[in-house]
Amino acid sequence: MMELLSPAGGMEQLKSALHFGADAVYGGVKRFGLRANAGNFTWEELKEALDLVHGCGKKFYLTLNILPYDDEMDGMVETAQKACEMGVDAAIVSDVGAFLTLREKVPQLPLHVSTQANVMNAASANFFAQAGAERIVLSRELSLERIKALKAQLPENVEIETFVHGAMCMSHSGRCMMSDFMMGRGGNHGACAQPCRWQYTVTEIKRPDEPMEVMEDAEGTYIFSAYDLNMLSHLPELEAAGVKSLKIEGRMKTGYYVATVTQAYRKALDLYYEDKEKYEEALPYLQNELLKCSHRLSNTGFYYGRPEPSSGAGGFRQTMEFTGRVLGMKEDCLLIEVKNRFHVGDALEVLSPSGSQAFTVSAIYREEDGQSVEFVSVAGQVVCVPVNFEAEPGDYLRGPNRNHRVDMEK
């Protein structure tokens, strides 16, 4: 079976990934990862995370995928050594020098080659395989046909991992310099400011004081913003190409995002291996589930050739919003930690690993004093909501996003 690999930018996201069915997670410590602005893990948190992950029989891959300078190499080796001793299942590395150094200095640590290494061909893949790589995360610019041909030229024990869902970078597999030049924030050192997602205007060289907006839609102009990736409907083709691990992008995303996307792909994978016909039948429902968390317009990236459309995805949208976190059951009531406002009479859903359960809020009681209220709006407040079904700690409560623009979905 293909592995489902989910992002863990922090402890909340890690717990969501595990609860909603990830086979493995990937995350970083405070240094040497390409998401410096994610929560990441302290050493104490990493110990807790590894205990949780391994207690579930899952795996944790540590991101050490910056492009390091010479004066950073010793620190990376020390970090890798400590993480290895704590029990991480592999480290994800992009730089050739870092890879060879870690292979020499920390030989007991399994290494995966990051997509930032831009592995595009069998010669490059075999170089890493011969150097000791157990898995290669291929460049995002490869088609399924090329992935299949490349995999056929690798040793059987070397696995292939590819991204299947989430944000895509306009540059080659993420090797972008826009943030460095515009903001002094190195994308290849984990500090990308995402200037490709900003709105832009153009000017004519003889009319520098007359900027012209490049019209796209009512949201503004996003000519450099790539579409999100979505391969949920193409699991058979991914497996046929030899992909072992399906990677969800999103170490900067919320626990609710991780839960929503992981649950949809988990359900799709389980149905695919159980009954391919049921998988096909479930795809419209599962694709609709993915619209319920924050996303841009999506396509299939480079898997079937040049992506169409390639840019202009616009801003974020979602059909439902994170309303609260389920803490458990209290008699016949959901015990909810409030995130966003909801009222008596609202149509809400509970997202759980088995799917979503819709219901109408018949009453709301404050946990602190049992007082009945018509609505709640204070984040962190705990309330009880009567329901006629069961839910578990770690499930999410969600409600309609009143700001969602249906006309923007494609």
Whole-number Å distance between alpha carbons of 103 and 92:
12
Whole-number Å distance between alpha carbons of 383 and 325:
11
Higher per-residue pLDDT: 183 or 107: 107
The domain spans of the chain are 3-168+228-293, 320-408
Burial per residue of 88-114, b for 16 or more beta-carbon CB atoms within 10 angstroms, e otherwise: bbbbbbbbeebbebbbeebeebbbbbb
Residue type at 304 in one-letter notation? Y
Please state the pTM of the whole predicted model.
0.87
Domain 320-408 superfamily per CATH: Translation factors (2.40.30.10)
pLDDT band of residue 263 (cuts 50, 70, 90) is very high
Which pLDDT belongs to residue 294? 87
DSSP annotation of 249 reads P
Which pLDDT belongs to residue 252? 86
Domain 3-168+228-293 and domain 320-408 have a common topology = no
Q: Which residues lie closer than 8 Å to 30 by C-beta, 6 or more apart? A: 40, 41, 42
Whole-number Å distance between alpha carbons of 280 and 157:
31
CB neighbours of residue 177 within 10 Å = 11
- Residue-wise pLDDT tens digits, 7-21: 999 999 999 999 999
Class for domain 3-168+228-293, per CATH?
A: alpha beta
pLDDT band of residue 79 (cuts 50, 70, 90) is very high
| For residues 327-350, average pLDDT | 96
Pairing outcome for strands 3-7 and 24-27: parallel
Contact 135, 160 (CB under 8 A): yes
- Residue-wise pLDDT tens digits, 112-129: 999 999 999 999 999 999
Give the CB-side neighbour count of residue 43, counting CA atoms within 13 A.
9
Tokens of 1: 């079976």
Peptide bond into 211 cis (omega under 30): no
